[in-house]
Structures are given as structure tokens and as C-alpha cells.
Amino acid sequence: MSAPLLALDRVSSGYGSSRVVRDVSLDIASGEIVALIGKNGMGKSTLLKTIMGFLRLQTGGIALAGRDIAAIPSHRKASLGLAYVPQEQPIFQDLTVHDNLRLGLASDAGLAAGIAEMAQAFPVLGRRLRQRAGTLSGGEQKMLIVARGLIARPRLMLLDEVTEGLQPSVVDRLAEALTAARRDRGTAMLIVEQHLPFVLGVSDRFAVFKSGEIVDSGPVDAAAALRIEAHTRL
């Protein structure tokens, strides 16, 4: 049996001596989308930052396609096929949409094809390639961030609250783009999200995160929403 694309083995991490994520184990197969769901402050974003290497792994292991990546610097993980879309909007506001997308690639090889693909996935970006990114609306900027992650055709994307503050039409467009990336290119995803209709609509499995631990997980089926609600209600 082949190794999972992403394997987290009893991962613990946090800030300084504080432990936020506690002994988390999770596997994601190639082409699989997993939703990581929970209330604010539970450690979901901390887990993504640990996978990317922005936070030090305190204990446990992180492997990508069977390779230990815990000690690999964050800036080198993109070359391994790992993309990260953070909750904040780290666009380069004075650069054009085109140049922001260009920064998602290691070189200009395939740039034209990548731009065309992103313009098809996000038509509004295709119409505004020469526009400064800082003049886009909030929803358009979020689409640009996701497109910058997708343009490199990663094997695995980590997405953190990509629908926060977005109107329904933009949420629908993001869902279509992510579903197409998985369908057409086999992109796997770990999505941190609180918008249940969106994330359950695109995911294969869910995991509920509470106080730094996975407290429930399973397939996205008819019972998934009820199970999640039982853990996340006040």
C-alpha cells in the first residue's frame, strides 16, 4: 500500500513553551479533501502553520509522500508540492494581479498557461490582470490568494478560512475552483473552515478540532453535520 500524501503522526506544537496542538495524527490521501472544523481558538491555524514550518514541531512527525518534511524550511516546501493559503490576505498590493499570480510559480515556465487556467477558474481576475491587486474588492483579493496557490498545481493545499467575510457568489466560485483542481489535477487539500455548507460540499472527510485535539472524524455523509454540531455547539 502506498504512503498517504500527508501523514501527521502525534504532532504537538505551540508558541514558546505553550502547547496548543496536542498529539494530532491525521492522514490525507492524494486527491482527497479533508475539512478541519472547530470553533475559534482551538488550534486549527496553529496546526497548518506547523505543517508549513512557521511554527516549530515540538513532538511527532510530518511526512509528505513518505518523506519527513518537519525540518525542511518553509520556503523550500513549495518545491515539494505544498501550497498554503493563510487566513490573512498576504497579497502584494502595489503589484498587478498578473504579477501576484506570477509569484506563485518558481519560474516563468508555464506562466502563460497558468494565467489562462486561473482566468478561466476566476473570470474576474482574468479581466483585471493589469490592475493593482490593492484596488480589488475583499472577495476578489481572496480569489487572488487562492489562485496564487493553485497556479503552481500543488499536490497538497492548506487553506485557512478562505470564505471568511465573503458573499455567497464568491463562496460558490471558490468551491467550483477547488473542486475542479481536485477533479482535474488530483490536488489534495486540508481546509480549515467554519462555513459548514461550503466545506462539507467539497470535502470527502471531516475532523473536528477541539482544544488542540481531533475529537471526532469520519466521512462526509448525511450524519456529518449533526456530528459536527454536537461538538461545536455552545
Mean pLDDT of 139-155: 94
List, in sequence order, the alpha helices (H) in the chain: 44-52, 74-77, 97-102, 111-121, 123-126, 138-150, 168-185, 196-202, 224-232
Question: Does the pLDDT value for residue 14 go beyond 80?
Answer: yes
202: helix, strand or coil: helix
The pLDDT tens digits of the residues spanning 170-227 come to: 999 999 999 999 999 999 999 999 899 999 999 999 999 999 999 999 999 989 989 9
Name the least confident of 90-94, 97-101, 124-128. 90-94
> What is the model's pLDDT at position 178?
96
Domain ranges of the chain: 6-88+154-232
- The per-residue DSSP string of 103-134 comes to TTSSSSTTHHHHHHHHHHHSHHHHTTTTSBGG
Q: Which triple of cell numbers denotes residue 213?
A: 485535539
Res. 3: pLDDT tops 90 = no
pLDDT at 1: 56
Residue 234 above 60 pLDDT?
no
Rounded CA gap, 91 and 162, in Å? 14
Question: Does pLDDT of 168 surpass 70?
Answer: yes
Q: 0.85 cut: is pTM over it?
A: yes
How far is 188 from 232, CA to CA, in rounded Å?
25
Q: What is the mean pLDDT of residues 76-83?
A: 92
Tens digit of each residue's pLDDT (9 = 90 or more) over 22-50: 999 999 999 999 999 999 889 999 999 99
For cell 473542486, the residue is: 179
And the C-alpha cell for 222? 448525511
Please state which architecture CATH assigns to domain 6-88+154-232.
3-Layer(aba) Sandwich (3.40)
Predicted pLDDT at 90: 77
pLDDT of residue 233: 74
Residue 192: which H helix or E strand, with range?
A: strand 188-192
